[in-house]
């Protein structure tokens, strides 16, 4: 295991924008498409234990969602229960086009929760508790995911044998370079906005406190594959600014954009107020997404420079892995030449891990070659003078932290499922492969089962095996 990786040449513009244009292995991949149908992507949250108490204030429910975005479901649940949205607690947002199962803690009577009926929602009331849960309060997620339409580089369908052989080859090479069951801890594309990586771009303007640009970017930035009516609305705003005519062009489902434009029409020039029309978690996500681009690009640059990512070099910051498999960022220490052998041993045993930057006002940075790489990425993104303090909305300020460069997958099993091409398939599948795609409707279908700790992305693990455009994830 030498820990040094090489990048493959294949990339696309979206991947480049968010730093997701490298792979752990020098292999061909299997191509294919995720979420060809909703039931192809299943997530079961592995919860931390909740202390049940019959006299508890909150209702605990296990809820299974089919093709629901988590925040949208919470909004609908709050309306159904006639409670504020902030009285519903959960540990993590899940993929929309999927079947997901997770715990919710709800500040409402059991009877009321049990009576809620919504399409494609199953609610199982488990009891009551005094305990809230929050983001990250779970041990991980168990995934069952089907990659459909595996294809060679030239777009021809891949046989079952070829696909399984390639998966085995990639798994073996990752183990050799990074260690058993280990892959690069990329931050997945869902953090940035699919097809329109707007979130991090807005974040740049937020930390610069250029509120006009933050708002106008969110409303008007062009996407790659949006509907004609959405394109027309965004183009109008880019050309004319917020107008009544532009508002009339906006589809009803663009709720955030419409509310921002409406605010500006009533309170001209109040861009901070317009930005606040976004939900609080989405406001925060803009800053987190910007930090995430820095992390991905720093990870990419490190691989490109030939530095190992699963074992340290002098100058690195390494941190302790806790019992949940999470990095304890407060434990990070600089690696010196004299401590390198001992720390390397602990990294190989999974006790310690190398880290990359999620920058902020107080973040520690690496020294040596690693530090130079991180500084170069931050400078390349014009963030070297950013102080990450947001005076107009202080809760968006961030002190920064570190993130593990590699993470583990567990309980991996791989098999195949029959090729399907029926009414249950999604629109993308029915439309067929495009010019810049790598899948074929007659290609093999491979099913992956695995467990990840919280904060790791199933899409980035599968991306290592697929090696196609991000639009296929």
CA distance 355 to 183: 14
Tokens at 416, concatenated = 């195949």
How far apart are the C-alpha atoms of 2 and 331, rounded to whole Å?
26
Pairing of strands 406-417, 445-453: antiparallel
- Locate tokens 């803009």: which residue? 286
Asked if 101 and 140 touch (Cβ cutoff 8 Å), the reply is: no
Q: Please give the backbone phi and psi of residue 227, each rounded to the nearest 5 degrees, phi first.
A: -60, 160
Residues 12, 40, 53, 95: which is the catalytic one?
95
Instruction: Report how far residue 389's alpha carbon sits from residue 383's, in angstroms, rounded to the nearest whole number.
Output: 13
Per the CB < 8 A criterion, the answer to whether 217 and 193 are in contact is no
310 sits in which H/E element: none
Contacts of 33 (CB under 8 A, 6+ apart): 147, 148, 149, 428, 429, 439, 472
Phi and psi, residue 26, nearest 5°: -95, 70
Q: Is 363:400 a contact under the CB 8 Å cutoff?
A: yes
Phi, psi (degrees; rounded to nearest 5) at 197: -70, 65
SS3 content of the chain, % helix, strand, coil (to 5): 35, 20, 40
| d(C-alpha 179, C-alpha 269), whole Å | 54
- Give the Cα separation of 136 and 401 in Å (integer): 15
95 carries an active-site annotation: yes
CA-wise closest residue to 353 among 314, 372, 326: 326
Interhelix angle 198-207/211-220, rounded to 10 degrees, is 170
- Which burial class, exposed, middle or buried, applies to 266 when counting CB atoms under 10 A from its CB (0-12, 13-18, 19+)? exposed
Please give the positions annotated as active site.
95
């Amino acid at each position: 295991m030498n820990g040094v990786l090489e990048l493959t040449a294949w990339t696309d513009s979206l991947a480049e924008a968010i730093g997701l244009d490298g792979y752990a292995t020098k292999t061909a991949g299997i191509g294919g498409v995720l979420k060809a149908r909703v039931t192809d992507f299943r997530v079961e949250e592995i919860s931390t234990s909740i202390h049940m108490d019959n006299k508890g204030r909150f209702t605990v429910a296990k809820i299974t969602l089919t093709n629901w975005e988590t925040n949208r479901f919470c909004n609908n649940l709050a309306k159904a229960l006639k409670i504020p949205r902030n009285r519903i607690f959960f540990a993590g947002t899940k993929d929309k086009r999927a079947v997901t199962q997770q715990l919710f803690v709800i500040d409402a009577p059991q009877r009321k929760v049990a009576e809620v009926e919504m399409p494609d929602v199953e609610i199982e009331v488990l009891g009551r508790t005094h305990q809230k849960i929050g983001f990250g309060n779970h041990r991980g997620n168990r995934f069952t995911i089907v990659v459909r339409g595996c294809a060679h580089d030239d777009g021809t369908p891949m046989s079952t044998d070829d696909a399984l052989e390639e998966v085995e080859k990639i798994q073996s090479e990752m183990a050799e370079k990074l260690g058993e069951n280990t892959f690069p801890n990329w931050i997945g594309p869902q953090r940035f906005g699919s097809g329109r990586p707007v979130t991090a771009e807005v974040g740049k303007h937020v930390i610069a406190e250029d509120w006009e640009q933050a708002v106008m970017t969110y409303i008007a930035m062009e996407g790659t594959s949006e509907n004609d009516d959405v394109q027309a609305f965004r183009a109008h705003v880019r050309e004319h600014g917020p107008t009544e005519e532009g508002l009339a062009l906006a589809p009803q489902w663009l709720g955030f954009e419409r509310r921002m434009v409406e605010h500006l029409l009533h309170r001209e020039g109040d861009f901070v107020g317009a930005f606040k029309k976004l939900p609080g978690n989405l406001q925060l996500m803009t800053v987190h997404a910007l930090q995430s681009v820095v992390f991905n690009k720093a990870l990419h640059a490190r691989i490109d420079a030939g530095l190992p990512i699963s074992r340290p070099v002098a100058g690195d910051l390494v941190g302790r892995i806790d019992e949940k498999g999470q990095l304890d960022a407060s434990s990070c220490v600089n690696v010196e030449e004299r401590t390198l052998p001992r720390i390397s041993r602990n990294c190989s045993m999974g006790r310690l891990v190398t880290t990359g930057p999620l920058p902020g006002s107080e973040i520690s940075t690496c020294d040596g070659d690693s530090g130079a790489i991180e500084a170069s990425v931050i400078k390349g993104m014009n963030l070297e003078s950013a102080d990450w303090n947001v005076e107009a909305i202080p809760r968006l300020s961030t002190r920064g932290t570190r993130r593990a460069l590699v993470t583990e997958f567990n309980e991996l099993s791989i098999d195949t499922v029959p090729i399907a091409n029926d009414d249950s398939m999604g629109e993308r599948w029915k439309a067929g492969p495009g010019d810049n795609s790598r899948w074929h409707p007659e290609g093999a279908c491979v099913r992956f089962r695995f467990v990840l700790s919280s904060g790791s992305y199933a899409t980035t693990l599968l991306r290592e095996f697929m090696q196609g455009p991000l639009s296929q994830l």
